[in-house]
């Protein structure tokens, strides 16, 4: 069995298929099939980390570019491809956040203006924003596990493979992330949450 290995996760690919099309055409078809199969889930995952749909598209594109650079004509995807794609997407998203943080810090140092106030919003959108703000306040590991479990519906085993953590550790992190998110969101809902009384 032919395999490729990379340092931030492992990419395994199955053997060459005999009697296939020209190598370039075959590689293009394989990449197109992989993109079609995984792009939307990876975009949701990346958007949950970077909180910006346009940036999520860049993050996922970079992950597919890395895969394309490693891809050899005649190779077929194996079972570990999905985990590898999530891992590379996660790493790309974290790199994006680090770059943005550095840029924001530079802008903040050079700017003396206060950021504009948020426009007033409706109750439902306030609740959603409170939850999203809470997710953004979670530690990166907690946010990663929470998004993989709740947004992508992955099993503890799949999350374990993607993150490199044990299944028990994944469960523990998820438990603490949900408790922390609950504490972060509850105070923001104010005193009107129970029976409409302050």
How does DSSP assign 23-60, residue by residue? HHHHHHHHHHHHHHHHHHHHHHHHHHHHS-HHHHHHHH
Residues 78-106: what's their mean pLDDT? Answer: 85
**In a shared domain, residues 55 and 87:** yes
Q: What are the tens digits of pLDDT across the range 101-133?
A: 877 666 566 554 444 555 544 577 777 787 888
End-to-end CA distance of the chain: 66
**In a shared domain, residues 86 and 56:** yes
Q: Is the pLDDT of residue 42 over 90?
A: yes
Mean pLDDT in the chain? 76
Examine residue 133 and state whether it is found in any structural domain, yes or no. Answer: yes
Examine residue 195 and state whether it is found in any structural domain, yes or no. Answer: no
Q: What single-letter DSSP state applies at residue 192? A: G
**In a shared domain, residues 146 and 104:** no
Residues 60 and 50 sit within 8 Å (Cβ to Cβ): no
Examine residue 41 and state whether it is found in any structural domain, yes or no. Answer: yes
Residues 44-52: what's their mean pLDDT? Answer: 91
**In a shared domain, residues 102 and 170:** no
Phi, psi of 82 (to 5 degrees): -60, -50
**In a shared domain, residues 91 and 128:** no
* DSSP-assigned beta bridge partners for residue 130: none
**In a shared domain, residues 42 and 77:** yes
**In a shared domain, residues 130 and 109:** no
Examine residue 90 and state whether it is found in any structural domain, yes or no. Answer: yes
**In a shared domain, residues 1 and 96:** yes
Determine which of 37-46, 53-62, 70-79, 128-137 has the lowest per-residue pLDDT on average.
Answer: 70-79
Q: Is the pLDDT of residue 3 over 50?
A: no
Residue 132 domain boundaries: 116-188
Residues 96 and 147 sit within 8 Å (Cβ to Cβ): no
Of the candidates 82, 115, 148, which is a domain's last residue? 115
**In a shared domain, residues 13 and 89:** yes
Closest CA to 39 of 60, 23, 59, 56: 60
Closest CA to 11 of 65, 73, 88, 74: 88
**In a shared domain, residues 58 and 146:** no
| Strand-pair category, 13-14 with 76-77 | antiparallel
Examine residue 159 and state whether it is found in any structural domain, yes or no. Answer: yes
Residues 146-156: what's their mean pLDDT? Answer: 84
Q: Which two tokens stand for residue 54?
A: 């346009």
Residues 100 and 71 sit within 8 Å (Cβ to Cβ): no
Whole-angstrom Cα distance, residue 120 to residue 22? 58
More confident residue, 118 or 75: 75
Whole-model pTM: value is 0.54
CATH of the domain at 122: 1.10.10.10
**In a shared domain, residues 3 and 97:** yes
Whole-angstrom Cα distance, residue 86 to residue 59? 11
**In a shared domain, residues 156 and 94:** no
pLDDT for residue 114: 47
pLDDT for residue 62: 92
Q: Which two tokens stand for residue 63?
A: 């992950």
Of the candidates 62, 95, 115, which is a domain's last residue? 115
Of the candidates 86, 115, 144, which is a domain's last residue? 115
pLDDT for residue 174: 84
């Amino acid at each position: 069995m032919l395999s490729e290995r990379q340092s931030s996760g492992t990419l395994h690919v199955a053997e060459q298929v005999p009697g296939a099309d020209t190598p370039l055409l075959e590689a293009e078809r394989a990449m197109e099939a992989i993109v079609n199969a995984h792009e939307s889930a990876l975009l949701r995952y990346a958007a949950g980390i970077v909180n910006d749909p346009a940036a999520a598209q860049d993050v996922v594109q970079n992950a597919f570019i890395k895969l394309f650079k490693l891809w050899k004509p005649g190779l077929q995807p194996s079972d570990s491809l999905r985990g590898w794609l999530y891992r590379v997407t996660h790493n790309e998203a974290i790199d994006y956040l680090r770059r943005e943080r550095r840029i924001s810090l530079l802008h903040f140092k050079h700017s003396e203006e206060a950021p504009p106030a948020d426009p007033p919003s409706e109750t439902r959108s306030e609740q959603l924003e409170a939850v999203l703000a809470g997710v953004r306040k979670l530690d990166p590991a907690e946010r990663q596990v929470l998004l993989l479990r709740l947004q992508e519906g992955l099993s503890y085993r799949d999350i374990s493979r993607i993150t490199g953590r044990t299944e028990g550790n994944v469960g523990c992190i998820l438990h603490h992330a949900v408790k922390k998110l609950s504490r972060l969101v509850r105070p923001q809902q104010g005193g009107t949450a129970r029976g409409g009384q302050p």
